[in-house]
Chains A and B, each alone.
Chain A
Amino acid sequence: MANRSVVPFGPQHPVLPEPIHLDLVLEDEKIVEAIPKIGYVHRGLEKLVEKRDFNDFVYIAERTCGICSFMHGMGYVEAMERIFDAEIPPRAKYLRTIWCEMSRIHSHLLWLGLLADGFGFEALFYQCWRMREKVLDMFEEATGGRVIFSVNKIGGVLKDMPKEMLAKFVHNFNEIEKELKDLTEVFLTDYSVESRLRGVGILTRDDAIRLGAAGPMMRASGISIDTRSIGYAAYEDIDFDIVTSNDCDSYARCEVRIKEIFQSIEIIRQAVEKIPGGEISIDIKGNPKGEAFTRVEQPRGEAIYYCRANGTKFLERFRIRTPTFANLTPMLYTLKGAELADVPLLILTIDPCISCTER
Chain B
Amino acid sequence: MATKVAKSPWLLHYDGSSCNGCDIEVLACLTPIYDVERFGIINTGNPKHADILLITGGINTQNKAVVEQLYSQMPEPKVVCAVGICACNGGVFKECYNIIGGVDKVIPVDVYVPGCAARPNAIIDGVVKALGVLEEKRKNMKGGAAE
Give residues in A with beta carbon < 8 Å to B.
Answer: 11-15, 17-19, 39-45, 47-48, 51, 59-60, 63-67, 69, 110, 113, 125-126, 129-130, 133, 136, 145-148, 353, 355-356
Contact = CB atoms under 8 A, between A and B. Distances in A.
Nearest to B30: A129
Nearest to A129: B31
Contacts of A148: 21, 116-117
B124 interface: no
B41 interface: no
- In this complex, the interface size class of chain B, counting residues with CB under 8 Å from chain A, is 35 or more
A41 B15 contact: yes
19 contacts: A12-B14, A12-B70, A17-B20, A19-B14, A40-B17, A40-B60, A40-B66, A43-B93, A43-B99, A48-B96, A63-B19, A64-B19, A65-B20, A129-B32, A133-B33, A145-B117, A146-B120, A147-B117, A148-B117
B78 interface: no
Nearest to A134: B33
B25 A44 contact: no
Interface string B77-113: 0000000000000001101111100000000000000
B92 A59 contact: yes
B63 interface: yes
Interface of B: 13-25, 27-28, 31-33, 44-47, 57-58, 60, 62-63, 66, 70, 92-93, 95-99, 116-117, 119-120
Contacts of A48: 93, 95-96
A132 B95 CA distance: 33
B27 to A, nearest CB: 6
Contact of B45 (A14, A42, A146): A14
A19 B96 contact: no
Contacts of B25: 146-147
Contacts, number: 121
A12 B63 CA distance: 10
Contacts of B19: 63-66, 69, 355
Nearest to A69: B21
Given A47-B96, A355-B20, 15 more contacts: A12-B66, A14-B44, A40-B62, A41-B16, A43-B17, A63-B93, A65-B19, A66-B22, A69-B19, A69-B21, A125-B31, A133-B28, A146-B119, A147-B117, A355-B23
Contact of B57 (A41, A45, A64, A126): A41
B92 A63 contact: yes
A42 B17 contact: yes
A13 B18 contact: no
Contacts of B60: 40-43
A175 to B, nearest CB: 16
A45 B25 CA distance: 21
Contacts of B96: 43-45, 47-48
Given A19-B15, A43-B17, A130-B31, A67 B97 contact: no
Contact of B117 (A18, A47, A66): A66
A13 B21 contact: no
B57 to A, nearest CB: 7
A43 B93 CA distance: 7
Nearest to A72: B19
Nearest to B120: A146
Given A19-B15, A44-B99, A67 B20 contact: yes
B33 A66 contact: no
A13 B70 CA distance: 11
A42 B17 CA distance: 7
A12 B48 CA distance: 13
A106 B66 CA distance: 30
Given A12-B66, A69-B21, A110-B24, A17 B15 contact: yes
A66 B31 CA distance: 18
A17 B62 CA distance: 17
A139 to B, nearest CB: 12
B16, B70, B96, B119 interface centre (most CB from chain A within 10 Å): B96
**Shortest 8 CB-CB contacts between residues of A and residues of B:** A14-B45, A66-B21, A66-B20, A129-B31, A44-B96, A44-B98, A63-B19, A44-B97
